[in-house]
Structure 1
Amino acid sequence: MALKLWSRVVVVVCILLITYNVLAAAGKNSNLSHEKQREFDNHLNRLNKPPVKSIESPDGDIIDCVNIAHQPAFDHPSMKNHKIQMKPTYDPQGDFVTNEEKAKGKSEPITQLWHLKGRCPEGTIPIRRTKMDDILRAGSIENFGKKTHGSIPQSGLTKSVNEVDNNGHEYSVATVKGEKYYGARGSINVWNPKVQDPSEFSLSQIWLVGSSTTNVTTIEVGWQVCPGLYLDSNTRLFIYWTKDSYTNTGCYNLFCEGFVQLNKDIAIGATLAPVSQIGGTPYEIKIFIWKDPVEGNWWLRVGEFTNTVGYWPGELVPDLADGAATVQWGGEIVNFEPNFQHTTTQMGSGRFAEEGPAKASYIRNMQIIDDSNIPRLPKDLKISTSKAGCYDIKSFEIANKEKYIFYGGPGRNPKCP
């Protein structure tokens, strides 16, 4: 009898707990004041433009196909009279892709999970719908979709990554500086690293950094696993920009006004599929960023030649008007673990560089665009890592034809307690 009674008590307690959690989830906005609720609703309305069509992705994302002229970029005060530049005046890369490039990895075309359920029509762009929970997780509209300070590998500025407190950010990067750079490219193979805590992330990207060391400007493109931003552990395409050291301007993806998208097939912030597997086929995204020498806008291409995604208007990143001062390629994680124990968040594939192309993460075909608007190999490439026992990096060159890096690691391990 006592056992039956206890079982009933357990069942009742479980039901009450479930009910409480459901009600708490349903009423999670009840602590917001009417003014704050209205502020959040207005921000959602600014981000989520009325769609021509909506597509529900298998991963739960809603992709809205929005009229190209109604995208968030044109809410920026400096963009009110902006005339959309439909194509660059000059393309330093052209449409030449060697058979060798095609054989090294599956980088073309770029595929995303939402493609399984449909495509956006001509004249629209795909935008991942933002939900109220996304903003609530950030704590405020001001914090939503933004990186934190210390999000640039300091080796690209004035000191090495080992000499600077990066506020929990750790890197394995290759850096060039000392000239003016009008673009950069690289083919990054795509993985799905484990992230220990939702407040942490792992990414691989290309950075273009302005000359100012006090009010840093960056353009950034790559892939990331960021549970705090997307509420899952999927590998996603991302972009970022800032012109004041991540303080007030810029954001991930299309979470704020700025980037002008033209492509109807690539959703920035959406899940990439497939991803590379240890010992299996290396899947890549080919990234190419360059400055239009006539209009001054910074263009982005991801994947095949036809996949020009859009551009950052030159007026948004004035410190890059005369080119970038630094270009960097590599990986970044953030380590927020307490008690001086290192995170197990992986960088890249989670394997060290020495394990080679079948296991380690890599970036190949690394090039910069010089002042003659011609792609070339970067000179005096420097490599650095924040925590050598946790993550590492190695660089290689093939007969003056191609530069590439292997990088990454598992995080906490016997050499990284």
Structure 2
Amino acid sequence: MALCVVVVLSICLLCFCGVQAISKQSDHTNLNEPNLISVLPSTQDDDFDCVDIYKQPALSHPLLKNHKIQFATINTTKSTTFHGAQATIAINGPPVSSDQYSMAQVWVQSGPLNVIQAGWAVDGFKSTGCYNAQCPGFVQVHPIYRPGQPFQNISIPRGTQYVFDVVITQEPINGNWWLVERNNLSIGYWPKELFNHLGDGAEVVRYGGTTSASKTGLSPQMGTGSLPNRDYRTGVGYFIQNKIMGSDFVMNDILLTEMVKNVDTSTACYDLGYYGFVASDVRETFSYGGPGGSCGT
């Protein structure tokens, strides 16, 4: 099993693999609550292969010809152009078999194939597709941190919470899309020329989790394997400090009135609960996930 941060470009997947390295203590200082620690990848190399979401080995199985990737997400509904998104995502490590994966990520998308995603993934495939930052198109700029580096820690229910700050943002002048850590630490970018739709901005932004079932039809856990709970510290997968960059290139909190919940399987398998503005240090918050199992297709 490998846990990674995935970055998807059209038909390519790039990965920050693993869970590793404490970066800083947040301003979350209430001693009655679990510590909230934001992390960055370590400098250790730990690459593994990734594959386009609909070109994985499991989906080539005859019985899975019409299989759908299962989503539990919140999606934008506003008809406008988006130029970025950010979230702080709890790092979890749900178990997966060799032909499953379980992810948590932020999407920006225009058209059917112009997609950039960033988040973490537990991926059991490891054998096909391109190799992390060696996938064509992504321009690495940071001398230390890059797709493919592991983290070390995962969140502990009712204990220390390890989170990863993800920012995807488009430059207003040249249109390049950047992967940035919340404290303006630039990892790299995708040139505008790579896209035939995203070059002028995104039509849709999504936040949440996805999974892929095994050949037996069983779906893995999503998040921590627990269904959503308003108290995000109790052992559920969660996103906090969720923001979106609109046509004015200003990053603002997402608004419940401009988002729609999308769960395309039984809510006994996966679900998502959006709880709005919870507190000044976590802001717009939702939890997601579930035990998986025989969820259907």
Tell me if both proteins adopt one fold, taking TM over 0.5 as the criterion: yes
Q: Distance in 1 between the 2:53 and 2:162 partners?
A: 29
Per-residue deviation, 1:112:
2.7
Equivalent position to 2:27, from 99, 115, 119:
99
Return the offset for 1:150.
Answer: 8.7
Out of 124, 141, 147, the residue aligned to residue 52 of structure 2 is: 147
State the AA in 2 paired with 1:342. Answer: L
Q: Give the secondary-structure state (helix, strand or coil) at the position aligned to 1:174.
A: strand
Residue 400 (structure 1) shift: 9.8
Deviations 1:158-204 (A, max 9, x none): xxxxxxx9724111101103221000000001011111x21110110
Equivalent residue in structure 1 for 2:149, among 260, 264, 270: 270
- Report if the CA contact (8 A) 2:263-2:271 is conserved: yes
CA shift for structure 1 position 292: 0.6
Aligned length: 255
Q: Secondary structure at the match of 2:37?
A: coil
Whether the aligned pair in 2 keeps the contact of 1:186 and 1:288 (CA below 8 Å) is yes
Distance 1:349 1:170 in 2: 16
Q: Does 1:301 align with 2:231?
A: no
Measured at CA, do residues 288 and 406 of structure 1 come closer, stay the same or move farther in structure 2, by a change above 3 Å? same
- Specify the SS of the correspondent of 1:228: coil
**2:254 counterpart of 1:378:** yes
Equivalents in 2 of 1:189, 1:290: separation in Å? 20
Gaps of 5+ in 2: 3-24, 57-64
Q: Distance in 1 between matches of 2:290 and 2:141?
A: 36
Cα distance change, pair 405–256 in 1 and its aligned pair in 2 (3 A): same
The aligned amino acid for 1:146 is V
Q: Is the 8 A contact 1:150 1:169 kept in 2?
A: no
- Cα distance 1:112–1:184, how it changes in 2: closer, same or farther (>3 A)? same
Alignment partner, residue 321 of structure 1? 199
Q: 1:391 to 1:322 in 2, by over 3 A?
A: same
CA 1:180–1:306 in 2, change beyond 3 Å: closer, same or farther?
Answer: closer
| Unpaired segments ≥5 residues, structure 1 | 1-58, 60-96, 115-126, 135-144, 152-164, 232-249
Shift of 1:385: 1.2
Deviation by residue 1:349-407 (Cα, 9 ceiling, x = unmatched): 11110273221000111111112211112241111212211111000112797322100
What corresponds to 2:124 in structure 1?
227
Q: Which amino acid aligns with 2:262?
A: S
| Equivalent in the alignment of 1:193 | 94
| Structure with greater contact order relative to length (CA < 8 Å, sep ≥ 6) | 2
User: Bigger CA drift: 271-280 or 217-226?
Assistant: 271-280
Residues of 1 paired with 2:26 and 2:43: CA distance? 28
- Tell whether the 8 Å contact from 1:149 to 1:167 is kept in structure 2 after alignment: no
Identity between Structure 1 and Structure 2 (%): 25
8 Å Cα contact 2:41-2:149 kept in structure 1: no
Name the counterpart of 2:226. 351
When residues 350 and 184 of structure 1 are mapped into structure 2, their CA distance, relative to the original with a 3 A threshold, is same
Specify the alignment match of 2:22 in structure 1: none
What residue identity is the alignment partner of 1:301?
A: V
Q: Which runs of 4+ in 1 moved over 4 A?
A: 100-104, 127-130
- Do the aligned partners of 2:278 and 2:285 also contact (CA within 8 Å) in 1? no
Question: Is the Cα contact below 8 Å between 1:292 and 1:298 reproduced in 2?
Answer: yes
Q: Which amino acid aligns with 1:172?
A: A
Whole-angstrom distance in 1 between the partners of 2:248 and 2:230: 38
Q: Decide which of 240, 256, 268 is 1:364's aligned counterpart.
A: 240
Judged with a 3 Å threshold, the aligned counterparts in structure 2 of structure 1 residues 349 and 113 are, in CA distance, closer, same or farther, namely farther
Alignment partner of 1:172 is 2:72: yes
User: What residue in structure 1 maps to residue 7 of structure 2?
Assistant: none
Aligned equivalents of 2:43, 2:221: Cα separation in 1? 23
Aligned-partner residue type, residue 273 of structure 2:
K
Aligned to 1:321, the other structure's residue is in SS state helix
Structure 1 residue 310 and structure 2 residue 188: aligned? yes
Q: Against the structure 1 CA distance between its residues 381 and 317, is the aligned structure 2 distance closer, same or farther, given a 3 Å change threshold?
A: same
Larger Cα-atom Rg: 1
Query: Matches of 1:365 and 1:200 in 2, distance apart?
Result: 29
